[in-house]
Amino acid sequence: MTRGYNPEQIKEKLIDALSKSKTGLTGMEIAEKLRINRVTMSKYLKVFAAEGLIKQKSIGSMSLWFVEKGVDQLNFPADLFQVKNRYLEYVLSAASHEAHNLMRTSLHSGANPSKLVSEVIVPAIDAVANSYESGKIGKSEKNFLDEIISSSIYLIRLSEKEVNSKKNIVIVATDYQNSLLAQAAASAFQTEEWKVSLLGDMSSAIDVLFDIDLQRFLNKVWVKREGMMIVVIFSSTEGAIKFFSQAVDASKEKFSKNLYLALCSKITKKPKVTADFISDDLEALLQWSQTVFESSQN
């Protein structure tokens, strides 16, 4: 019996107990401290170890449990700023293990997944890009740090909810540089119940037939035309924005009025295209998308 505890309560008490012990605790000691049956506690220890929250070490004849480095108890939204700074520190120092544990802990502590993307992941992506552009890191290191962030995004995607068939979105990156931002956006939308089609880096698709290709794809992923569809383009160049925007405009003529175009770009010069939303702020994109969806249902 777990005396009325739920898994989250057990996790909180376990991490608290292990954090206070510098020498680790045996399974029996943990069961006694948490007042939980040893067999039941053993099952929870295996689950939490698989999640990367705790680890087991054999020291002499004893098997001891320790809390993984970077794992502690967090309170949200109060600790979001702290998580942002710590995550960025871990990423820039290439501490992948600690970065992923911090992301797991944040999710298990009740952090809003889409907030983790917009307030923690995106600033880290920008910081790595800035370090590369300023010559502080090379291409090899940038790719390695990007991979740490990509793995963190995957952890957030695991928390996605059931999708709403009326909330459809296609996310496009016009180059490699924007593909990680597109991946982050996809995870944020998935956690907000959007049916996401992530196309990734589509730079190789720039040709005269892309508008037809896009229309065929929309026909496959938006078969019944339920609800609405948003095509989001992540780009850093005016030329790419113009090309992909024109392809979406051509698709608008063949689909219902509930097809929208959103542009996410940091270029200072406002692109000469017709779009329903233009900003480099992911959180603003999420809010706008939800508002448009709610309006379409009235």
List, for residues 243-282, the tens digit of each pLDDT value.
999 999 988 888 878 899 999 998 877 777 889 999 999 9
264 near 185, Cβ under 8 Å?
A: yes
Q: Which CATH number fits domain 80-157: 3.40.50.1970, 1.10.1240.10, 3.40.50.620, 1.10.10.10?
A: 1.10.1240.10
Choice between 5 and 58, residue whose per-residue pLDDT is larger: 58
Name the average pLDDT for the chain: 89
Q: Euclidean distance between the first and final Cα of the chain, in Å?
A: 49
42-51: average pLDDT: 84
* CATH entry 3.40.50.280 includes domain 167-296: yes
Q: Where are the chain's structural domains?
A: 7-67, 80-157, 167-296
7-35: average pLDDT: 84
The per-residue DSSP string of 4-71 comes to T--HHHHHHHHHHHHHT-SS-B-HHHHHHHHT--HHHHHHHHHHHHHTTSEEEEEETTEEEEEEPTT-
Range with the lowest mean pLDDT among 34-43, 144-153, 214-223? Answer: 34-43
**What pLDDT is recorded for position 217?**
96
**What pLDDT is recorded for position 283?**
94
53-74: average pLDDT: 77
**What pLDDT is recorded for position 69?**
66
41 near 26, Cβ under 8 Å?
A: no
**What pLDDT is recorded for position 3?**
52
3-state helix, strand, coil in the chain (%, to 5): 55, 15, 30
**What pLDDT is recorded for position 1?**
39
Range with the lowest mean pLDDT among 149-163, 216-230, 277-291? Answer: 149-163
List, for residues 77-123, the tens digit of each pLDDT value.
888 999 999 999 999 999 998 898 889 888 878 889 999 999 999 99
Tell whether the model's pLDDT for residue 5 goes beyond 80.
no
List, for residues 172-227, the tens digit of each pLDDT value.
999 998 999 999 999 999 999 999 999 999 999 988 889 999 999 999 999 888 89
Q: Which CATH number fits domain 7-67: 1.10.10.10, 1.20.1260.10, 2.30.30.60, 3.40.190.10?
A: 1.10.10.10
Choice between 128 and 13, residue whose per-residue pLDDT is larger: 128
b/e per residue 255-266 (b: at least 16 CB within 10 A):
eeebbbbbbbbe
Dist. CA 144–CA 123, nearest whole Å: 17
